[in-house]
């Protein structure tokens, strides 16, 4: 792996973090990458697992504590208004960027939501008419014309960019399946449940932590019968990267041959078994396809999984 001199993580929305770094799901790969950095800055609202690797942590503000805009998939540019002031010692994303620029010798005025939107309107053609004070309660849909007039329907008589060209791409099997499915016959896919988001940094600080208290592995009844697994059994999921232990839930919500679990409880270390495969074009991690096998922990061990390399945090 090529060493990277510096890296910064920052929050970008109420529930997400942007990784200004190639994204990976393989936990051990991520640890190696973070430990290879000469300097890591993490901007966070809580001391997350990632923040513990950092040389510097910049205390950010939650979306309740700052004003700005969100633009959604409907092209709607909406105002977000500060409800409460940021906690003492924390700053909004925009102000943190401004402070860094000032310290690097690029003079900037303090962050204001109207000022940043005006700058965006000068640079981005389809935001040209966007004005903070005129966005209203429901926002405006881009392209935004002069006078802050939105475009409710983008394509009417013609497509704005002309006719497109259809491209055919033949199905290509995942390298994860090609390389490992013979030895690890199940496909593990991971996702979320309603009560939690990602690693639970925020949702596990709410009453939701009493509703869903752990990650569980969903397995189809036919597969469970073959493996002599019942709901509540402690099972071992193992792949070419490593193994984890988790309680099982027999469910017809998954298809035969498919296993499903969440990753809201980092102590379960589900991402130890996931791979480093990525989409060739977008470099998005292969979230949904992991070749694994599963067995009750008190069953005879048929295969020995590769043990993950341990990496000490900085």
Write the CATH number for 270.
2.40.40.20
Do 187 and 125 reside in the same domain of the chain? no
Do 221 and 97 reside in the same domain of the chain? no
- pLDDT at position 299 is 52
Q: Is residue 276 part of a domain?
A: yes
Q: Is residue 289 part of a domain?
A: yes
Q: Two tokens at 90?
A: 């924390």
Q: Is residue 150 part of a domain?
A: no
Of 95, 123, 141, the residue that ends a domain is 141
- pLDDT at position 312 is 36
Tell whether the torsion through CA atoms of 173, 178, 182 and 185 is positive or negative: negative
Do 182 and 87 reside in the same domain of the chain? no
Of 141, 165, 197, the residue that ends a domain is 141
Q: Is residue 71 part of a domain?
A: yes
Range of the domain at 41: 6-141
Written as tens digits, the pLDDT of the chain (314 aa) is 334 444 545 544 433 333 333 334 567 777 888 889 999 999 999 888 888 999 999 999 988 999 999 999 999 999 999 999 999 999 999 999 999 999 999 999 999 999 999 999 999 999 999 999 999 999 999 999 999 999 999 888 887 777 777 888 888 888 899 999 999 999 999 888 877 877 777 777 788 888 888 889 999 999 999 999 999 999 999 998 888 999 999 999 999 999 999 887 777 778 788 887 887 778 777 778 899 999 999 754 444 444 433 333 33
Q: Two tokens at 50?
A: 């990632």
The per-residue DSSP string of 99-135 comes to HHHHHTT---PPP-HHHHHHHHHHH-GGGTT--GGGS
Do 190 and 135 reside in the same domain of the chain? no
Distances (CA, A) of 47 to 17, 41, 242, 285: 13, 13, 27, 24
How many domains, in total, are found in the chain?
A: 2
Q: Is residue 165 part of a domain?
A: no
Do 97 and 187 reside in the same domain of the chain? no
Q: Quick check: pTM over 0.85?
A: no
Q: Is residue 161 part of a domain?
A: no
Q: Is residue 162 part of a domain?
A: no
- pLDDT at position 301 is 43
- pLDDT at position 2 is 38
Question: In the chain, how long is the greatest CA-to-CA distance?
Answer: 72
Do 54 and 135 reside in the same domain of the chain? yes
Phi and psi of 115, rounded to 5°?
Answer: -65, -40
**Strand 39-44 relative to strand 6-13, pairing:** parallel
The terminus-to-terminus CA distance of the chain in angstroms comes to: 18
- pLDDT at position 10 is 52
Q: Is residue 196 part of a domain?
A: yes
Q: Two tokens at 192?
A: 């979320």
């Amino acid at each position: 792996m090529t060493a990277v001199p510096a890296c910064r993580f920052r929050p970008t929305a109420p529930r997400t973090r942007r990784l200004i770094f190639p994204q990976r799901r393989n936990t051990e790969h991520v640890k190696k990458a973070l430990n290879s950095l000469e300097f890591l800055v993490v901007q966070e609202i809580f001391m997350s697992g990632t923040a513990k690797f950092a040389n510097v942590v910049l205390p950010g503000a939650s979306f309740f504590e700052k004003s700005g805009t969100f633009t959604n998939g409907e092209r709607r540019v909406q105002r977000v208004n500060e409800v409460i002031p940021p906690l003492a010692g924390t700053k909004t994303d925009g102000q943190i960027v401004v402070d860094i620029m000032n310290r690097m010798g690029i003079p900037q005025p303090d962050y204001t939501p109207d000022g940043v939107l005006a700058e965006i309107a000068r640079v981005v053609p389809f935001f040209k008419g966007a004005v903070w004070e005129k966005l209203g309660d429901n926002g405006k849909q881009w392209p935004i014309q002069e006078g802050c007039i939105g475009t409710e329907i983008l394509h009417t008589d013609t497509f704005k960019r002309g006719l497109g060209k259809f491209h055919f791409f033949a199905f290509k099997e995942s390298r994860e399946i090609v390389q490992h499915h013979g030895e690890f016959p199940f496909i593990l896919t991971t996702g979320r449940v309603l009560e939690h988001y990602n690693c639970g940094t925020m949702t596990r600080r709410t009453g939701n932590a009493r509703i869903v208290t752990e990650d569980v592995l969903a397995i189809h009844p036919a597969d469970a019968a073959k493996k002599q697994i019942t709901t509540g059994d402690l099972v071992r999921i193992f792949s070419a990267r490593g193994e984890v232990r988790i309680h099982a839930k027999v469910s017809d919500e998954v298809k035969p041959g498919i296993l499903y679990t969440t990753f809201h409880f980092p102590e379960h270390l589900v991402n130890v078994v996931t791979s480093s495969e990525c989409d060739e074009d977008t470099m998005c991690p292969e979230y949904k396809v992991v070749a694994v096998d599963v067995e009750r922990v008190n069953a005879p061990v048929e295969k020995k999984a590769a043990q993950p390399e341990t990496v000490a945090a900085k």
